[in-house]
Amino acid sequence: MRPAGKNGGPLFTEKIGPNGYVWWYIDALSDDGQYGLTIIAFIGSVFSPYYAWARNRAAPHGASPYDHCAINVALYDGLSNSPSRTGRRHGHRWAMTERTWRHVAASDDTFRVGPSSLHWDGERLTIDIDEISLPFPATLRGRVVVKPIGIWQDSYRLDEAGDHFWRPIAPIASVTVEMDAPRIAWRGTAYVDSNVGTAPLESAFVRWDWSRGKQIPPDTEVKDDAGSPESTFVVYDVHRTDGTNLTLAKTFRVSPTGMATTGDFVSPRHQKLPTTAWGIHRATACDAGTFATVVKTVEDTPFYARSVVRSVINQAPMVAVHESLSLSRFRSRWVQCLLPFKMPRRR
């Protein structure tokens, strides 16, 4: 079990050794299906070309992860085809500026990188955002408040050697988003997890598909959000460099009395999704006799794709946040040369 913060939440002073990493991941979808966001706070940014180059230069002793920190923010508008409430679209804004240890401060409950920060008070995770989005520079500023509905403590090993772990901290949560730039405000559902490792991702994994979908069990009478059992299904399908595979299929549920439980289920067959424009292969779990569809691809990069996907798991329809990661593509020289154009570095 990884060390945890107040009331089992995130702990921002977890020690990370040379070549290692930790990240805290938040994603959210608005109740009306119009908006989405993803926030990833990194110590030892695993997708940083600068960190990869530093590891090569520092071999065999390793590079410091604290010299490669970032808070990645992606804001999405227009996830559905329905008209915008404001009558206008704000589009897609994306920011990820890497900063050195001089611009980083961490305590048990607060992690700050440059002008942006995460703060855990024992009940809520507050993210204050003040970044410049790329490739067309624009201000990205506002506050996101995530309220977990239950906290989970267990971590799951992703590789045979035990170098990489995943911890779903708050698979079920609510979110309030208040952005000043662009001017957007919405409420919705959220998810929080964390990954930690002692070595680069590409040393252990070839690729993975991951998805999380929040749903209310179909055999439950739904009264309201506060009084009904809620659940999140997560499927983590990992292809390792040693030729083995791992599929984690977990259900996280909170009962009307507030009890948080974890269950395993047999992951349905993986159905292929359309390949992205960059040629990234995607697949997701889906019940036999049903079909998964991509609602929208919100990130399409040379090595990574994030999508909103409709699927059916255990006979229940769900909308899932889905990611496909190709680490064999990430480590290629041409991809490493492209990344600095979207990931600037501030010393």
| Predicted confidence (pLDDT) at residue 225 exceeds the cutoff of 60 | no
Residue 277 dihedral angles phi and psi, to the nearest 5°: -60, -30
Mean pLDDT calculated for residue range 227-249 = 88
pTM comes to: 0.93
pLDDT digits 0-9 by tens, 98-112: 999 999 999 999 999
Averaged pLDDT for residues 287-294: 93
pLDDT of residue 82: 55
Band (85; pLDDT cuts 50, 70, 90): low
What is the spatial distance between Cα 347 and Cα 335, in angstroms, rounded to a whole number? 23
What's residue 204's pLDDT? Answer: 97
User: Hey, where are the domains in the chain?
Assistant: 6-12+19-346
Q: How confident is the model at residue 315 (pLDDT cuts 50, 70, 90)?
A: confident
Check if the beta carbon of residue 252 is closer than 8 Å to that of residue 232: yes
Is the pLDDT higher at 303 or at 79? 303
Stretch 206-214: mean pLDDT: 94
Mean pLDDT score of the chain, rounded to an integer? Answer: 91
pLDDT value at 87 more than 60: no
